[in-house]
Amino acid sequence: MSRRRVPGRETDAAESNTRRTWYGYGQLTRTEKRGFGLFLHDTPRVFAEISVVSLPVLLFVMEYPADGWFDAKATALVAWTTAVVVGTLIRIGALHPVATPTPGWVTLSPRLLALRVPYFNAAIAVAIFGGLAVEGAVTGVGAGGTVGVGAGIGWAATVSAGAVLAFPRVADEWVSVVG
């Protein structure tokens, strides 16, 4: 396992296939995971992190009025799922975050929690409501409804993936300023 410590980053998880596992009453051990097992092991961690800090925008979307089968809930599901999948791929080292030489996801420290709440709420809101706007614009210029829905889904997935890929770099800058 890597012993290189970068402030605010979990490089060990990205550079190693070893994870802590619970095998029953009071028994923790370390196991080696590969491929899909590693992805499955780390997905709940990233899902919980993104979901909890994004609750304000997700709860707002649940109360947002539906105008048909393609609404804010549909784009939210796409943006949320994309964020979790891309975040997990960064955490396990399958994807490298943009604009930073350091691999791995961002630690769960209090100083980075202050960054996560506004960052993920804003990113997911832009993905959701931008997707709705793109769908309306594409459908409004005479393209079919299916083309508009595809464009809205594409917007939501692209913005969400880009925000998650950029988050480790933003966190690095935050740590250098905040300390």
Tell me, yes or no, whether 131 lies in a domain.
yes
Residues with Cβ within 8 Å of 6's Cβ and at least 6 positions away in sequence, in order, are 102, 104
Tell me, yes or no, whether 18 lies in a domain.
yes
Residue 1 has pLDDT above 70, yes or no: no
Tell me, yes or no, whether 4 lies in a domain.
no
Tell me, yes or no, whether 2 lies in a domain.
no
Tell me, yes or no, whether 14 lies in a domain.
yes
Angle in degrees, CA 48, 80, 99, rounded to 5:
90
Tell me, yes or no, whether 42 lies in a domain.
yes
The pTM is what? 0.93
Tell me, yes or no, whether 148 lies in a domain.
yes
41 pLDDT tier (thresholds 50, 70, 90): very high
SS3 of the chain:
CCCCCCCCEEHHHHHCCEEEEEEECCEEEEEECCHHHHHHHHHHHHHHHHHHHCHHHHHHHHHCCCCCCCCHHHHHHHHHHHHHHHHHHHHCCCCCCCCCCCCCEECCCHHHHHHHHHHHHHHHHHHHHHHHHHHHHHHHCCCCHHHHHHHHHHHHHHHHHHHHHHHHHHHHHHHHHHC
Total of domains in the chain: 1
Domain that holds residue 141: 9-178
Over residues 80-91, the pLDDT tens digits come to: 999 999 999 999
9 vs 143 pLDDT, higher one: 9
68 pLDDT tier (thresholds 50, 70, 90): confident
Centre a 10 Å sphere on the Cβ of residue 104 and count the other Cβ atoms it contains: 23
140 pLDDT tier (thresholds 50, 70, 90): confident
Over residues 93-106, the pLDDT tens digits come to: 999 999 999 999 99
- How much is the pLDDT for 22? 83
Residue 159 has pLDDT above 60, yes or no: yes
Across 119-145, average pLDDT: 92
- How much is the pLDDT for 154? 98
In the chain, the percentage of residues whose pLDDT exceeds 70 is 97
Tell me, yes or no, whether 3 lies in a domain.
no
2 pLDDT tier (thresholds 50, 70, 90): very low
